[in-house]
């Protein structure tokens, strides 16, 4: 803020005229005339009155100047906040920004790094490779831990100095440590939440399908009559509705897990103090709760393990961890997770490569000619403003949800609006990716495509789709023309209820997420 100039105070000086004190003599023989000059006493009185008037006028002017200056000072938007605070007890505060967050555990994994042009380009190129060489079924593979992910787990995974952050044992170990510490009453709250939210998770996975069908139709040139391609606005609206489900999951999870954290005993806090956020080697090797596992369906148990593992990262982490996202967090409709994580499913103690995305993404770019490459390499610059908006929105969401951990209540309306906006931004970026991937695919030569299939190095074509990482029959998808700007979107677009057959309701026999 600009500093206020000091009010200038000017002393007004009045000059006093010297009055001639001599008396004119009139000859005695001449008649006495009315004197042209008034008597000395009268003149003196008039001079005194003139002085007083000038002094009074100067005083009035000075008071006006001071009063006007004070009025300007206390009502100006350019004054220092500390001066205003004397008049107004409510301090003027600025909204914190994501750029103020500090990441100290591992400089390789920070939000600025994840948002960098190179990290984004590598991930987008990797998704492009997955999409043009993949299939409709592969597009649908999606780890459930990427849903409602405002609780710091991804950051805890990325900065694990024990080196197991991307091992399939990481999540179960985190979850089992928490479940061992919780009381039966606290675990019962998680069970109740899991039973309530398992169908909601199914709705989220199910409502992703129309997007993926539309994106692949766009890739293959299967456009509805009267359309030249995807409608960015229609996709944004759809993903905004889709993320309404994400909001439901996140908000209610925060309330339940926050209440459990608030009920931790001194003994529980002492046990949690031994578990370091960035070092899974400090976590005990505890057995899985088989009684709990067998009492739940696969969907419910997956939810329990997600809640428990993320309760650890939420409790031990901070707002920086909650806001953080990995580069592949957005635009998850193109099969990248299938190409990267498929080998990990069902494989205990499997390390998911942290180099595959960068190496394969670069290989994809190396196979493109200059015109094709420009379509992809220009994306990081084009999306930068929206990506920054996403980071800030995530911080605002996470900040509000954290109130549940400290005995407060997150603003439901505010969180819902923020998550919807976050979803709209995801739809906007995803549409941009889908457009560019289709433009590249249209111009690929047979030789280029063959080289990319070799680079993919995964000769697996799912026969159906996925309910997150569990194979399911590919569900019927009604017309997606509205996503191309043709026709009217269904009233419940993005928030449809999944059919009962779209889930994994058997006893658990798969890892909760890779």
Band of the pLDDT at 35, cuts 50, 70, 90? very low
Cα–Cα distance for residue pair 4/72, rounded to 1 Å: 10
DSSP class per residue in 387-403: HHHHHHHHHHHHHHHGG
Does pLDDT of 361 surpass 50? yes
466 pairs with which residues across the strands?
Answer: 471
Mean pLDDT along residues 143-161: 96
Cα–Cα distance for residue pair 392/405, rounded to 1 Å: 21
Phi/psi for 402 (5° steps) reads: -65, -20
Mean pLDDT along residues 76-80: 33
Mean pLDDT along residues 253-269: 98
User: Are 150 and 253 in contact, with CB atoms under 8 Å apart?
Assistant: no
Does pLDDT of 291 surpass 60? yes
Mean pLDDT along residues 6-35: 36
Does pLDDT of 125 surpass 60? yes
Mean pLDDT along residues 168-173: 96
What are the structure tokens assigned to 20, written together?
A: 């001639």
Please give the model's pTM, rounded to 2 decimal places: 0.80
Instruction: Of 403, 339, 281, 396, give the one whose Cα is nearest residue 132.
Output: 339
What mean pLDDT, rounded, does the chain reach?
A: 85
Q: List the beta strands (DSSP E) in 260-340.
A: none
Half-sphere exposure for 209 (CA within 13 Å, toward CB): 25
Q: What is the pLDDT of residue 57?
A: 56
Half-sphere exposure for 66 (CA within 13 Å, toward CB): 8
Band of the pLDDT at 52, cuts 50, 70, 90? low
Q: What is the pLDDT of residue 70?
A: 42
Cα–Cα distance for residue pair 139/493, rounded to 1 Å: 20
Instruction: Of 151, 94, 105, give the one whose Cα is nearest residue 319.
Output: 151
Cα–Cα distance for residue pair 181/175, rounded to 1 Å: 10
pLDDT digits (tens, 9 = 90+) for 196-251: 999 999 999 999 999 999 999 999 999 999 999 999 999 999 999 999 999 999 99
Cα–Cα distance for residue pair 327/340, rounded to 1 Å: 14
Cα–Cα distances in Å, from 280 out to 49, 78, 185? Answer: 91, 51, 26
Cα–Cα distance for residue pair 503/473, rounded to 1 Å: 10
CB neighbours of residue 362 within 10 Å? 16
Instruction: Of 158, 4, 190, give the one whose Cα is nearest residue 79.
Output: 4
| Range scoring the smallest mean pLDDT among 61-65, 328-332, 339-343, 447-451 | 61-65
Cα–Cα distances in Å, from 192 out to 111, 196, 246, 292? Answer: 34, 6, 18, 12
pLDDT digits (tens, 9 = 90+) for 438-490: 999 999 999 999 999 999 999 999 999 999 999 999 999 989 999 999 999 99
Q: What is the pLDDT of residue 56?
A: 55
């Amino acid at each position: 803020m600009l500093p206020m100039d000091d009010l200038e105070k000017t002393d007004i000086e009045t000059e006093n005229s010297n009055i001639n004190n001599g008396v004119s003599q009139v000859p005695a023989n001449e008649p006495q005339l009315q004197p042209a000059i008034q008597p000395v006493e009268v003149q003196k009185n008039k001079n005194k009155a003139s002085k007083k008037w000038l002094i009074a006028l100067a005083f009035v002017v000075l008071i006006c100047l001071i009063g006007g200056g004070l009025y300007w000072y206390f009502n100006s938007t350019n004054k220092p906040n500390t001066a205003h605070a004397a008049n107004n007890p409510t301090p003027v505060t600025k909204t914190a920004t994501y750029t103020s967050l500090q990441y100290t555990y591992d400089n390789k994994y920070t939000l600025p790094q994840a948002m960098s042009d190179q990290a984004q380009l590598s991930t987008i190129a990797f998704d492009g490779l997955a999409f043009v060489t993949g299939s409709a079924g592969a597009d649908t593979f999606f780890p459930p831990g990427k849903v409602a992910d405002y609780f710091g787990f991804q950051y805890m995974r990325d900065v694990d100095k024990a080196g197991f952050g991307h091992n399939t044992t990481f999540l179960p170990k985190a979850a089992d440590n928490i479940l061992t510490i919780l009381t039966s009453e606290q675990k019962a709250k998680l069970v109740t939440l899991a039973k309530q939210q398992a169908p909601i998770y199914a709705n989220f996975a199910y409502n992703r399908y129309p997007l993926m069908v539309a994106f692949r139709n766009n890739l293959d040139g299967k456009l509805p009559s009267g359309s030249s391609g995807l409608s960015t606005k229609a996709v944004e609206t759809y993903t905004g509705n889709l993320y309404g489900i994400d909001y439901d999951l996140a908000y209610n999870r925060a309330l339940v897990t926050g209440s459990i954290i608030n009920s931790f005993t001194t003994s529980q806090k002492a046990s949690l103090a031994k578990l370091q956020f960035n070092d899974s080697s400090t976590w005990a090797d505890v057995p899985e709760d088989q009684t709990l596992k067998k009492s739940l369906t696969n969907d419910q148990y997956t939810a329990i393990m997600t809640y428990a593992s993320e309760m650890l990262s939420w409790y031990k982490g901070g707002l920086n961890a909650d806001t953080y996202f990995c580069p592949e967090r957005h635009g998850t409709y193109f099969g990248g997770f299938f190409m990267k994580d498929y080998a990990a499913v069902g494989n205990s103690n499997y390390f998911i490569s942290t180099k595959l995305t960068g190496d394969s993404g670069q290989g994809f770019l190396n196979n493109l000619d200059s015109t094709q490459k420009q379509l992809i390499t220009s994306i990081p610059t084009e999306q930068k403003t929206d990506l920054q908006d996403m980071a800030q929105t995530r911080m605002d969401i996470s900040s509000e949800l954290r109130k549940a951990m400290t005995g407060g209540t997150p603003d439901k309306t505010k969180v819902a609006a923020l998550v919807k906006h976050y979803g709209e931004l995801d739809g906007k970026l995803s549409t941009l990716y889908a457009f560019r991937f289709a433009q590249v695919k249209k111009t690929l030569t047979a030789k280029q495509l063959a080289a990319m299939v070799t680079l993919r190095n995964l000769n697996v074509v799912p026969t159906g789709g996925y309910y997150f990482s569990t194979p399911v029959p590919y569900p019927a998808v009604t017309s997606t023309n509205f996503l191309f700007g043709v026709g009217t979107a269904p009233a419940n677009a993005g928030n449809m209820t999944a059919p009962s057959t779209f889930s994994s309701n058997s006893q658990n026999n798969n890892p909760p997420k890779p």
